[in-house]
Structure 1
Amino acid sequence: MAIRFSEEQQVFYLTTQQSEYQIKIDQYGHALHSYYGAKVDQDMSYLFSYENRGFSGNPDVVGKDRTYSLDVLPQEYPVFGMGDYRQPALEIENHDGSYGVELTYDSHEIKMEKYQLEGLPAAYQNSGESVSTLELNLYDAISKIKVQLLYGVFEEKDIITRAVTITNMGSGKVNVLKADSASLDYADKDFDVIHFHGRHNMERQYERLSLKNGAFSIGSHRGTSSHQHNPFIILSDSETTESHGNCYGMMLMYSGNFLATIEKSQYNQVRAGIGIGSRGFRYSLAHGESFTAPEAILSYSANGLEELSHHYHQFIQKNVVRGKFRDQRRPVLINNWEATYFDFTEQKLIDIARDAAGVGIELLVMDDGWFGKRDSDTSGLGDWQVNLEKIPNGLKQLADTVNKEGLKFGIWFEPEMVSEDSDMYRKHPEWSINIPGRPGIRSRDQYVLDFTRQDVRDHLVGAITEVLDSANIEYVKWDMNRSLSNVFSESLESHEHGKFYHLYILGLYEVLERLTSAYPDVLFEGCSGGGGRFDAGMLYYTPQIWTSDDTDAVERLRIQHGTSFGYPTRTNGSHVSAVPNHQTSRITPLNTRGIVAMSGSFGYELDITKLTQAEKDEVAEQVEMFKSYYNLIHEGLYYRLTNPWENESFTAWQIVSNDKKETLVSLVRTRQYANDPIAIFRLKGLDPQQIYQLDGEEKEYTGAALMASGWPVPQTNQEYQAFTYHFVCKE
């Protein structure tokens, strides 16, 4: 069994193919975190340290035993206020104003199916898949707080999911101030922390730090998971590489405020926690009410970072992303945003569609500017009626005409926003988020709509439904272009505003669930100024996300490198754009832009009508190449062959088919040197016994040779040249 409980040892064993997770219920009923790592099949609580340590207090239940302290023992779900001074997973303000909560074992249940969470995205179990659930119930008899720890064990995927439900069983009201979804304790670990920071136009930048004494945290209080930090961290042994060593991943399946904290204590113990953001969070619970924390996705690898990434890639592809587009080939698209911005006409879109069809592109996406009074980003948001000055024949005829040209038709929305200069705002100013009596905070000349309100959600579902029903629309780009501030809702009581950020995300999820369920044949793509909400929570509703507003091929190398640690290739919206690039003014060859963009859900972001015939011919070759490699790129195993933060000369990556019979290797020269030294890069993931041939060549190479001795980096006479190598097994 993937989950078993030893009555004799009082230990829960959670096992996957390669990992083991242990929880010990000790003699006082405390749930202790015994172990997480490679399979050992041994009660690891023998490692617990019991010594008399100064300033580490002892619970009353242990009497005069000064060697027992929660300040030193590894906790499964540590709480604030009861003698453990490290970072807590749970902080509760009791009805009398005190903060003490002591959780002890109450009961448990093991189920042979995956738990689900009401109103929140959660990983799901496929037919025939072995998944088990542990419900571990902890209770505080004085505060009458019940905490249910949920564990989903995906045995074949080497994934353990975690979630938490907190219920107030007492008569007085309590406030939840902090509630992590998962917490892990390690004794005496020399860890590095890998995280992915950034900013708008430069998301998920890889950074690896040596963990020192003290606490390191990342998070967001912007109302979204944010451009600045991604809700995904990796703990690794200091010597861990891509292909060797221990590493642990913690990913939060949530699209709002979050906090991840890693603390190295006075005794060199390490505690890592991830959960909903605690700033501005105060979730009040009356008698019988519950709060459910979002799901966390945990994984362990003994074989380096690339294997950990493979765990997450396969899990997100098959157990997070839903609907027909999980497995169905997605169309190659062209988006008119960087081609025209707001300045387009119906005929211009038709001209783009006609030329796009000629090179094999399959979908035209009409971006911002098609609705209301929308000639710039200063007006019109919220007025989701077609602008008949730009599209005089209406959406239906435009979509029909695009369809006749041989393309599907898609459309852009920013449903969560409203412009001050809009009919919606003039009619319903109370629908926007602002504190009464306090001047508002504009960002991009827009306000955020109050998604905690049912009337707002219903209105938007109705407005979007009306648009989607009016024409043959087969794609929706869902954008969100500012952070939340001045949060307040007229629909909430004064004591409830600490719930606002979370209720906003629950409202967003409700709207997405209603629309994606009603339109299963529409491909939804998430976006928040690019990658400002790139998380597993959004991927539950939108099977791909626009990776970044930065379309520069060279900068995308680092963005896509960081993204690849946790998220699969097919979730990355990635487009070929014009040069000079609109964000950096860099000029890169069309071939390079195509090769970089193919590591994602592929498309174009330029005015194809302005390309030369030679350029159109090259685009047609790129589209055909991508289609021929689609299954390999979107289903294969992704390997990072270089780190662009360490190698300034070139960046290389590789995708290998699951049967190891085919591989596509890509390389971009990022810096040119005079009299370049010889360089070689080594392939990964091949069958060492197989014979491989490069497309168009008869020469043979063993998998062992390509992995051990490698492949030469081509010499070039200019920067930003790119190359692909497609190897297949000899028949």
Structure 2
Amino acid sequence: MTRRWTLRGAQTEYTVAVPPHGRWLELVAWGPHGVSDGPSPVGYEGPVPFLTKGDGAPVEYATETDRPFAGADLVVRTRASFEFQDATATQDRLAVSFADPVNGLRAVLHYRIPAGTDVVERWVELTNEGTEPLRLARAGSAGFCVPTPHGARISYQWGQWAQEFQLDHVDLAHGTFAVGSAQGVPGHLYVPWLAIRDQADDTAVWGVGLAWTGSWQIEAERDTGGLTRIRAGRRLVDGPLELAPGQQLTLPVAAGAYSGGGLDGLARVWHAYQRRLAGERLGPRPVLYNSWEATYFAVDAASQLELARVAAGIGVETFVVDDGWFTGRNDDTAGLGDWTPDPAKFPAGFDAFVGDVRALGLKFGLWVEPECVNPRSRLYAEHPEWVYSVEGRPLTQVRNQYLLDLGRPEVAEFVHETVDRLLRTHDIDYLKWDFNRPRTEPGRPGATGPLDLDGSHVANLYRIFEQLRRDHPHVLIEACAGGGARTDLAMAARADVFWPSDNTGPLDRLAIQWGFLHANAPHLLSSWVTDAPGLFDPRPRSFAFRFVLAMAGVLGVGADIRHWTAEQRDEAARWIALYKEIRDIVMHGTVHLVGGPDQARCAVQYLSPDERTVVVLAWHTGRLDGAGLLPSRPVRLPLRGLASQARYRAGEQQYSGSHLTAVGLPVQWTAAHDAEVVILHRV
């Protein structure tokens, strides 16, 4: 039997092997096609003073016995030590089995590279084939090894509410860098995504992402021998997992990506992968209007219809009623859990209201937060035991609400039935699913024995999303959690779009979307045009700037458009019409990120799949005063992916591909002109 396997992606390969001792699987090489044809860049057979062989080896999945000092992926309270059993392999799939002859634990290491991508998916199936329960103190999904002989440069995304997806970098000469969440969701503080490269080489870059919508952790550790190992997996906030005899546990997918094109190239690898996750649902995302910033909780049929009429007039396609439409919901202290349209707010009936919206030529959408409940609600009065709680301890309110224990079968059924009933009863095309608080109580009343509250909540959440998409395939689902706190690869496979932040201020939002696009494809980026000022960078920007910014993904409008002037409405209609012309290229095109929000040049370039059309969205990031008044040359935006000898036309101006690549597309900023959309057609 062969003990070495290579999986091939579109442009990359991933080679692993079982060494002669058979105790683990280790990486041979990971990179462009042909990288494994030669000595391993991560292999090591030398001395390891005061360590073990496993601590220095590029182990793919290590137990505490194999890697006791440098960090294990799997820690079993009675310890575990594996022996190789067998393997099955194809060109893009691999399953390698190991077993512990003492405690009966079996681990199957799975690998898959989806067709047309350069992302290797890795996950582990653990089965207790012994006679005694096993307690797992750590249950990671994978360890990824990257050669960093000159030191590791790690790119990550930090944040907080209203300031998510802030791209940053740290140099790691030795030691560990870690990010994660204990909130039961990926969280606002960090994104389950890392990029790693050698400090002497900005071109070759490796990335790791985790497909898990609960608590998580990713750690990167560089050893003295120049190897950086990235461990990714669940964070066991509820304590060790218990695996009973005969029980099987499948751990979340950890995804690894490689690009020879730096962070910009790595972003395109993730985009191609997420488009494949979307599958047949990767259709045009509608231009939407959301009522939140216009009316907040003061929802009623008259005000919503007034907004809908204006929205239809400027070219919006879907009208979404946000929070405030259901019984008892006049502020955030009551109503959650009682998901019935308020008859006082819709005196002619909710279906009549929906019909009036649709008569304007608009599709209809609705906001829900079905995992949460207010203490002032009928649901909580009837089922106080349905929320997470610890007996004898007071409950913690966040945003005046509690969190339902979705791991309970009856709660999961209630949540699914509630949303399913809304979709079956009313003519709804779009669902904004929100989640505005983390889990604070680690308990379930009346339960005995160890609990995996985090795992059961996430598992039922996935099942509900999958059931809703199966039974209502026409309904688009937007994932939101007080902004971008629920953004990961697992949700990218189950939701159609993400709401990345509640902050819609122009320059703040530019930084948020810039980081977002490094890890997520444009079809997942929901962005609204509003009147909101920036919280962190309050410098004003034009109406055009806000529209060009929102056009970088899925265009929406969230301002109180009743107060827009006739000139603003006309301008909005022109921008929306332009977006509809370029929407398919934004959704499906190859993305290049040019410059950055902290630089003089900042743009996103989209190259159509047939490579004949280029769309460039550009923004002025600096001070506006003085622009165009003193001698200055245009900002040049170096474009990528163009045929050097071809010619490209924008209006009356023509450029060679070589000029646009080497010199750049010129844009001239003034105090009144701070954003631009340029469309180039190959002649």
Q: Does 1:711 align with 2:665?
A: yes
1:203 equivalent in structure 2: 164
**Which string of whole-angstrom CA distances, capped at 9 and with x for unpartnered residues, describes residues 238-273 of structure 1?**
2444xxx11111111111111100001243322111
Q: State the distance in 1 between where 2:453 and 2:42 align.
A: 43
Q: CA deviation at 1:187?
A: 4.8
2:56 equivalent in structure 1: 72
| Aligned counterpart for 1:152 among listed residues 98, 112, 118 | 112
SS at match of 1:137: strand
Change (3 A) 1:102 1:309: same
1:90 equivalent in structure 2: 74
Q: State the distance in 1 between where 2:36 and 2:492 align.
A: 35
Q: Does 1:56 align with 2:51?
A: yes
Q: Does 1:217 align with 2:212?
A: no
Q: Which runs of 5+ in 1 are unaligned?
A: 1-5, 58-68, 95-99, 112-130
Q: State the distance in 1 between where 2:214 and 2:491 align.
A: 10
**Which string of whole-angstrom CA distances, capped at 9 and with x for unpartnered residues, describes residues 213-243 of structure 1?**
11110001100011111111111222444xx
Q: State the distance in 1 between where 2:504 and 2:668 align.
A: 25
Stretch deviating more after TM superposition (707-716 or 624-633): 707-716
**Which string of whole-angstrom CA distances, capped at 9 and with x for unpartnered residues, describes residues 53-92 of structure 1?**
32124xxxxxxxxxxx222222121111445311211111
Q: CA deviation at 1:585?
A: 6.2
1:128 equivalent in structure 2: none
1:227 equivalent in structure 2: 188
1:573 equivalent in structure 2: 526
Please give the residue correspondences for 1:295-306 in structure 2 after superposition, counting only pairs within 5 Å: 295-306=253-264
Q: State the distance in 2 between where 1:158 and 1:51 align.
A: 32
SS at match of 2:56: coil
Q: CA deviation at 1:195?
A: 0.7
Change (3 A) 1:526 1:47: closer
SS at match of 2:76: strand
Q: State the distance in 2 between where 1:213 and 1:433 align.
A: 41
The answer (yes or no) to whether the contact 1:135–1:150 under 8 Å persists in 2 is: yes
Q: State the distance in 2 between where 1:713 and 1:132 align.
A: 44
2:678 equivalent in structure 1: 725
Q: Which runs of 5+ in 2 are unaligned?
A: none
The answer (yes or no) to whether the contact 1:195–1:206 under 8 Å persists in 2 is: yes
**Which string of whole-angstrom CA distances, capped at 9 and with x for unpartnered residues, describes residues 313-347 of structure 1?**
011112x1245xx2322221101000110113211
The answer (yes or no) to whether the contact 2:148–2:199 under 8 Å persists in 1 is: no
2:614 equivalent in structure 1: 663
The answer (yes or no) to whether the contact 1:552–1:581 under 8 Å persists in 2 is: yes
**Which string of whole-angstrom CA distances, capped at 9 and with x for unpartnered residues, describes residues 517-567 of structure 1?**
111111111100111111121122211011211111211111111111121
Q: State the distance in 1 between where 2:474 and 2:390 align.
A: 40
The answer (yes or no) to whether the contact 1:157–1:315 under 8 Å persists in 2 is: yes
**Which string of whole-angstrom CA distances, capped at 9 and with x for unpartnered residues, describes residues 301-322 of structure 1?**
123222221111011112x124
Q: CA deviation at 1:513?
A: 1.6
1:463 equivalent in structure 2: 418
**Which string of whole-angstrom CA distances, capped at 9 and with x for unpartnered residues, describes residues 104-144 of structure 1?**
21111125xxxxxxxxxxxxxxxxxxx73211001111121
Please give the residue correspondences for 1:233-272 in structure 2 after superposition, counting only pairs within 5 Å: 233-241=194-202, 245-272=203-230
The answer (yes or no) to whether the contact 2:343–2:350 under 8 Å persists in 1 is: no
| Aligned counterpart for 2:268 among listed residues 302, 310, 321 | 310
Please give the residue correspondences for 1:670-685 in structure 2 after superposition, counting only pairs within 5 Å: 670-672=621-623, 674=626, 675=630, 677-678=632-633, 679-685=635-641
* Count of matched residue pairs: 675
The answer (yes or no) to whether the contact 1:19–1:158 under 8 Å persists in 2 is: yes
Q: State the distance in 2 between where 1:485 and 1:260 align.
A: 22
SS at match of 1:565: helix
Q: State the distance in 1 between where 2:110 and 2:446 align.
A: 32
| Aligned counterpart for 1:397 among listed residues 352, 355, 358 | 352
TM-score (norm 1): 0.89
| Aligned counterpart for 2:429 among listed residues 451, 460, 474 | 474
SS at match of 2:232: strand
Please give the residue correspondences for 1:371-390 in structure 2 after superposition, counting only pairs within 5 Å: 371-390=326-345
Q: Does 1:174 align with 2:128?
A: no
Q: State the distance in 1 between where 2:367 and 2:10 align.
A: 43
Q: Does 1:194 align with 2:142?
A: no
2:145 equivalent in structure 1: 185
2:240 equivalent in structure 1: 282
The answer (yes or no) to whether the contact 2:552–2:617 under 8 Å persists in 1 is: no
1:24 equivalent in structure 2: 17
Change (3 A) 1:53 1:28: same
The answer (yes or no) to whether the contact 1:552–1:586 under 8 Å persists in 2 is: no
Amino acid aligned to 2:413: D
Q: CA deviation at 1:590?
A: 1.1
Change (3 A) 1:514 1:693: same
| Aligned counterpart for 1:490 among listed residues 426, 433, 445 | 445
Change (3 A) 1:246 1:199: same
The answer (yes or no) to whether the contact 2:165–2:512 under 8 Å persists in 1 is: yes
Q: State the distance in 2 between where 1:405 and 1:225 align.
A: 38
The answer (yes or no) to whether the contact 2:218–2:232 under 8 Å persists in 1 is: yes
| Aligned counterpart for 1:454 among listed residues 384, 409, 412 | 409
SS at match of 1:628: helix
The answer (yes or no) to whether the contact 2:188–2:485 under 8 Å persists in 1 is: yes
Q: State the distance in 1 between where 2:356 and 2:381 align.
A: 35
TM-score (norm 2): 0.95
Q: State the distance in 2 between where 1:87 and 1:394 align.
A: 60
1:354 equivalent in structure 2: 309
The answer (yes or no) to whether the contact 1:333–1:361 under 8 Å persists in 2 is: yes
Q: Does 1:36 align with 2:15?
A: no
Change (3 A) 1:547 1:42: same
The answer (yes or no) to whether the contact 2:504–2:529 under 8 Å persists in 1 is: yes
Q: CA deviation at 1:35?
A: 1.9
The answer (yes or no) to whether the contact 2:186–2:216 under 8 Å persists in 1 is: yes
Q: State the distance in 2 between where 1:669 and 1:417 align.
A: 41
**Which string of whole-angstrom CA distances, capped at 9 and with x for unpartnered residues, describes residues 491-539 of structure 1?**
64232x2x11111111111221222211111111110011111112112
| Aligned counterpart for 1:102 among listed residues 65, 81, 85 | 81
Q: State the distance in 2 between where 1:416 and 1:286 align.
A: 29
Change (3 A) 1:598 1:680: same
Change (3 A) 1:138 1:594: same
Q: State the distance in 2 between where 1:237 and 1:727 align.
A: 36
